[in-house]
């Protein structure tokens, strides 16, 4: 061993002597081995969690709001120091109807201890936005004792899907039928859920003209509550993304409190109102059926008369006077809704009305004042409307007091009534009420006086 060391030492000294005697020193080369370990983002000194290149993938529907985890940061600094973090998202690529907030962007720092981690939360609210995908870059600003860093993290991916949809279709039953006729219908409410899983609630109203026979949902649960004669249906169901569900509802026409089969009047009836997706302000179409009255003949089986009960037939020029007129109606057909119109002449004002049923309105008309009377009559029922008119005086030979009665949908019946001016000897104390019997107002739908 000593011999080997001696030889090695001798060679070393010889090399030194050689270098020293070689004259000018030209160059010296050396090499050093360097090893670099590439680690995932989560294991870096300031690590952050990413998946498929994004710190978060957020799916939200139009007109919805969602909370989410935006970014998880880990502190692996060698110095074992606490680090203070804040995030700076870039929202410049989002449409104006999308509002997003990521925790700490307001400047409030989050402290992460050594070997600790923190998940930053976020919130996004989407208005009426077309479906699409958007990317939000996020910059992380970190400071610690003795250092700081600005790091580009993985961005946030925002996926905006369409809102759930709801539609209604009639599976069976007539869209038109005669009044007082039993019928049954089945309709289907279908909801479709795009984008992401949701808990959805549907509300619908079945009007009072119907009774519910059965409700059959393809999933979820339902309840029925009654308000007055109407039935309120609530259906709740959980749907996965792109999943659909339906609910079939069967109803029939009911007997009304008077024991008559609905529908008792001609016209259009909503089989049910538009079904609504709760919290989405989305409604389906409604389904409307029509009740007919045998071609309209039965709807016009009415006896109608119009009389002047009091008031002078002749007036002196400029003489004021008061009048009392009456419309009488008898229903000789099936139950129905009736609308009657009558003109009161321009020289007269309507000072009052008394109706036995229904509602009365008075509106201006080029011919004077239009009186509209709307009411419902069952078979054999009668109704009266008493009108009170006043004039401050007339100055022409003849003026209209009340015009012919117009039954909307059936035509005009009876005659018009007029008031006249004349000399004193023609007055004779006569009133229109006394002479109205001679005018013989009769309905075109019956013979003789209705009363």
C-alpha to C-alpha distance for 222 and 217, rounded to whole angstroms: 8
Please write the tens of the pLDDT for every residue from 43-101.
Answer: 567 888 898 999 999 988 887 889 999 999 998 887 788 999 999 999 999 998 999 99
pTM flag (> 0.85)? no
The pLDDT of residue 42 is above 90: no
Return the DSSP state at 431.
B
Residue 295: pLDDT band (50, 70, 90) is: very low
Residue 259: pLDDT band (50, 70, 90) is: confident
Which of the pair, 114 or 441, is modelled with greater confidence? 114
| pLDDT average, residue stretch 199-213 | 93
- Helix then strand count (H, E) for the chain reads 2, 35
C-alpha to C-alpha distance for 207 and 269, rounded to whole angstroms: 9
CA dihedral (43, 46, 52, 56) positive or negative: positive
Q: What is the CA radius of gyration of the chain?
A: 45
Please write the tens of the pLDDT for every residue from 329-350.
Answer: 999 887 788 889 999 999 999 9
Q: Which residues neighbour 325 within 8 Å (Cβ) at sequence distance 6 or greater?
A: 306, 307, 308, 309, 386, 387, 389, 401, 402, 417
* Least reliable range by pLDDT among 18-32, 133-147, 258-272: 18-32
Domains of the chain, CATH where assigned: 41-161 (2.60.40.10), 165-292 (2.60.40.740), 299-439 (2.60.40.290)
Please report how many Cα atoms fall inside a 13 Å half-sphere around the Cα of residue 339, on the Cβ side: 7
pLDDT in the model for residue 131:
85
What φ, ψ does residue 10 adopt, rounded to 5°? Answer: -65, -45
Spell out the SS3 assignment of 195-213: CCCEEEEEEEEECCCEEEE
State whether residue 71 is helix, strand or coil. strand
Please write the tens of the pLDDT for every residue from 168-180.
Answer: 999 999 998 887 7
Return the DSSP state at 42.
G
Tokens of 396: 């022409």
Top mean pLDDT of 19-23, 415-419, 422-426 is at 415-419
What φ, ψ does residue 110 adopt, rounded to 5°? Answer: -115, 125
């Amino acid at each position: 061993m000593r011999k080997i060391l001696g030889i090695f030492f001798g060679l070393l000294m010889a090399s030194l002597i050689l270098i020293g005697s070689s004259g000018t020193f030209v160059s010296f080369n050396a090499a050093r081995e360097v090893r670099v370990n590439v680690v995932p983002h989560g294991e870096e000194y300031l690590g952050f969690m990413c998946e498929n290149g994004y710190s978060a993938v957020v799916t939200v529907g139009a007109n919805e709001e969602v909370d989410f985890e935006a970014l998880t940061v880990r502190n692996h600094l060698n110095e074992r120091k606490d680090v203070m973090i804040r995030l700076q998202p870039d929202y410049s690529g989002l449409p104006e109807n999308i509002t997003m907030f990521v925790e700490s962007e307001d400047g409030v720092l989050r402290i992460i201890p050594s070997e600790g981690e923190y998940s930053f939360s976020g919130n996004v609210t989407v208005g009426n936005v077309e479906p699409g995908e958007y990317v939000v870059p996020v910059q992380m600003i970190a400071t610690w004792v003795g250092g700081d860093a600005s790091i580009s993290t993985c961005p946030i991916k925002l996926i905006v899907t369409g809102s759930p949809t709801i539609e209604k279709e009639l599976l069976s039953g007539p869209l038109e039928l005669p009044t007082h006729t039993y019928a049954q219908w089945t309709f289907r409410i279908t909801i479709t859920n795009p984008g992401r899983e949701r808990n959805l609630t549907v509300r619908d109203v079945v009007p009072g003209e119907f009774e519910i026979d059965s409700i059959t949902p393809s999933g979820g649960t339902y309840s029925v509550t009654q308000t007055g004669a109407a039935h309120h249906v609530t259906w709740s169901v959980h749907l996965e993304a792109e999943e659909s569900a339906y609910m079939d509802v069967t109803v029939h026409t009911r007997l009304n409190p008077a024991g008559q089969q609905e529908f008792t009047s001609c016209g259009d009836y909503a089989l049910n109102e538009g079904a609504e997706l709760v919290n989405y302000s989305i409604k389906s179409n409604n389904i409307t059926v029509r009740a007919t009255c045998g071609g309209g003949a039965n709807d016009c089986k009415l006896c109608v008369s119009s009389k002047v009960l009091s008031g002078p037939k002749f007036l002196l020029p400029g003489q004021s006077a008061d009048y009392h007129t009456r419309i009488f109606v008898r229903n000789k057909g099936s139950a129905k809704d009736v609308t009657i119109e009558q003109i009161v002449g321009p020289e007269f004002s309507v000072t009052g009305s008394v109706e036995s049923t229904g509602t009365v309105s008075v509106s201006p008309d080029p011919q004077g004042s239009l009186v509209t009377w709307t009411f419902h009559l069952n078979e054999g029922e009668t109704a009266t409307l008493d009108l009170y008119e006043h004039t401050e005086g007339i100055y022409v030979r003849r003026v209209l007091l009340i015009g012919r009665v117009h039954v909307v949908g059936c035509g005009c019946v009876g005659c018009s009534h007029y008031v006249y001016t004349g000399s004193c000897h023609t007055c004779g104390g006569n009133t229109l009420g006394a002479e109205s019997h001679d005018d013989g107002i009769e309905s075109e739908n019956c013979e003789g006086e209705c009363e």
